[in-house]
Amino acid sequence: MAIDWTTLLAEWRDLYRVALDTVIAGQRPWLRVDRIYREALDILLERRGLGDAFTRQERDDLNSVWTRLDAWPDAVAGLARLRRRFTTATLSNAGMAAVVAVVKHANLPFDAILTAELAHSYKPAPSVYQLAVDFLGYRPDQIVMVACHKYDLKAARAFGMRTAFVARPLEFGPDVKPDVTAEDWFDIHVDSFTALADALGAGSSS
């Protein structure tokens, strides 16, 4: 059976985003993101006529792929440099267990792990950005939100944070062209975490 995984993944992401937005809007109770991904996967497989193609265990295994993501080639080196000068922390929509798994799998050097699960909401809700203030002890204007999604940075900027856009043209695969153009409201626009370290004067790679 031939499956177009690129298209399937894009639809899966879209269904996940719709579910997050319904939680933010108060249209449904908060649900952990791994359960949202699993729910979206079930909907997707039924929609695509693949409901009988995967067992429950296979669906669970497929859903866990989000905890085994490899880092971008520049991430570890760039974060290590940034960490020597700044406090580095995640602020992800993924659940705590999932982000811990990703950080351990990819050996990412963060000082703290924060996720939207702590706020029982999802970005771009302001309560998620407030987590960085509450848990790290900095004012919003002392925090740089780093992301490759413009909606995330737009919400962070509205919250009072500075913004750094790291362009990831291949985030969704070679056949999808995300918007990675610079915006005049970005504080920083770079194409890697090592370039971000350069821009913030976070030492050299040696």
Q: Residue 58: which CATH number?
A: 1.10.150.240
> Is the residue at 10 inside a domain?
yes
Q: Which domain holds residue 128?
A: 75-199
Domain check: are 87 and 112 in the same one?
Answer: yes
**205 inside domain:** no
CA distance 113 to 109: 10
Dig out the tokens for 61 from the structure. 């295994």
Q: What pLDDT is recorded for position 10?
A: 86
The pLDDT, as a whole number, for residue 1 is 58
For the chain, the straight-line distance linking the first and the last C-alpha, in angstroms and rounded, comes to 49
Q: Is the distance from CB of 119 to CB of 130 less than 8 angstroms? A: yes
Is the domain of 156 the same as that of 175?
Answer: yes
Last residue of a domain, one of 50, 67, 84: 67
In a domain, 62, yes or no: yes
Give the CA diameter of the chain. Answer: 54
Is 206 inside any structural domain? no
pLDDT digit string (tens) for the chain, length 206 residues? 577 878 888 899 999 999 999 999 999 999 999 999 999 999 999 998 998 889 999 999 999 988 998 999 999 999 999 999 999 999 999 999 999 999 999 999 999 999 999 999 999 999 999 999 999 999 999 999 999 999 999 999 999 999 999 999 998 888 788 999 999 999 999 999 999 999 999 877 55
Residue 119, domain member (yes or no): yes
160 and 182 within one domain: yes
- Pair 43, 94 in one domain: no
Judgement on whether residues 82 and 168 belong to the same structural domain of the protein: yes
98/161 same-domain check? yes
Domain CATH for 130: 3.40.50.1000
Clarify whether residues 144 and 48 are in a common domain. Answer: no
pLDDT for the residue numbered 203 = 73
- Asked whether residue 167 falls in the same domain as residue 84, the answer is yes
Instruction: Give the pLDDT confidence score for residue 12 in this predicted structure.
Output: 92
Q: Which long-range contacts (CB under 8 A, 24 or more apart) does 195-199 make?
A: 195/74, 195/78, 196/78, 196/82, 196/146, 196/164, 196/166, 197/78, 197/81, 197/82, 199/164
- Whether residue 87 is contained in a domain is answered as yes
- 112 lies in the same domain as 191: yes
Same domain, 194 and 99: yes
pLDDT of residue 56: 94
The verdict on 82 and 171 lying in the same domain is yes
Same domain, 138 and 82: yes
Is 204 part of a structural domain of the chain?
no
Domain count, the chain: 2
Give domain status of residue 129, yes or no: yes
Residue with tokens 């979206």: 40
